[in-house]
Structures are given as structure tokens and as C-alpha cells.
A = this chain, B = another copy of it.
Amino acid sequence: MAAHHHHEHAGASLAHAAETALVDAGEQWTDMRADIFAVLATFEKPASAYDIADLVSQKRGKRVAPNSVYRILDLFVATNLARRVESANAYLANSHPGCLHDCIFLICDNCGTATHIDDDTLTSNVRAAAERAGFAEVRPVIEVRGKCAACG
């Protein structure tokens, strides 16, 4: 297994790392984006755009529409600040923005919490298999549904 060093950020440190990554990508770190990232980062479970819209609305005392949230989530996904969990139609903050990986998500069918694994050997094997089949610009989606240790 490839040895690989991350900072697993949390809290203010994570927000700061996100800001840095976004600015490095040539995008602005606005209040709205900061609020959405902050809300997203509080979730243990993948959060839907509507969940986020509700919480950000509360926080701001003003309705924030889901489509505004989607716009920003799309930006976050494109710049690797967040990930979309396809099997949950929902999003997770990336705990190490700026660090490019194919993540493997484990999502508990019972409690909904998600953890993630980085296993570059495994993911590069998946990439290689897809490329052997003639695919290019591949973007692996590797998720595992199941029952987590706590719900066992």
C-alpha cells in the first residue's frame, strides 16, 4: 500500500484549507461559499443539497434556495473541496482538500454515516481495468454499502 501523508483537517483548520484550495484554483471564497462549506463540514453523514439549504437558511435568517446550493456544491466537487456520494444522492466535505485521490466511501445502510478509505493501489487497479476497456478520462466511483462496526 502506498504510504501517503495527509493532514486530516477538522473544524477551523479544515475551513482554512478549503479556502486556500479554492483560491488556489482561481475561485473566490465568498461568504455564501464559506457558509455552505461550514454547514457541509458539520455533517457525519452525506448531506443532501436540501439539508444544506435548510441549515444555511437558518444560519443566515434568509431563505437560500436549493439551486444556489447546487451551484456551489458543483464548484466544490470540481475543485475537490467536496465529494458527491452517488449511492446516496448527497455530498461530503473532503477532509483533505488540495490532495487528489480516488476515495472509497463506506456508507452504513443502517445509520447512514460515511467513512472513507484511501487505497491508491486498489483505485489505480480500477482505473487500469477501465482503461484496458478503452475508457479515457476515467473517474472511478467506488462506494461500499453495508453495516458499519457500530451498527453491527
Q: Which residues of A contact B (CB under 8 A)?
A: 86-87, 89, 104, 106, 108-109, 115, 117, 119, 122, 125-127, 129-130, 133-149, 152
Contact = CB atoms under 8 A, between A and B. Distances in A.
Nearest to A139: B145
* Chain copies in the assembled complex: 2
Contact of A137 (B104, B136, B147): B147
B130 A142 contact: no
Contacts of A89: 89
Contacts of A149: 133-135
A86 B143 contact: yes
A142 B145 contact: no
A122 B104 CA distance: 13
Contacts of A109: 137
18 contacts: A86-B86, A86-B87, A87-B141, A115-B133, A117-B133, A125-B125, A126-B144, A127-B144, A129-B144, A133-B149, A134-B152, A135-B148, A135-B149, A136-B147, A136-B152, A137-B146, A141-B142, A142-B142
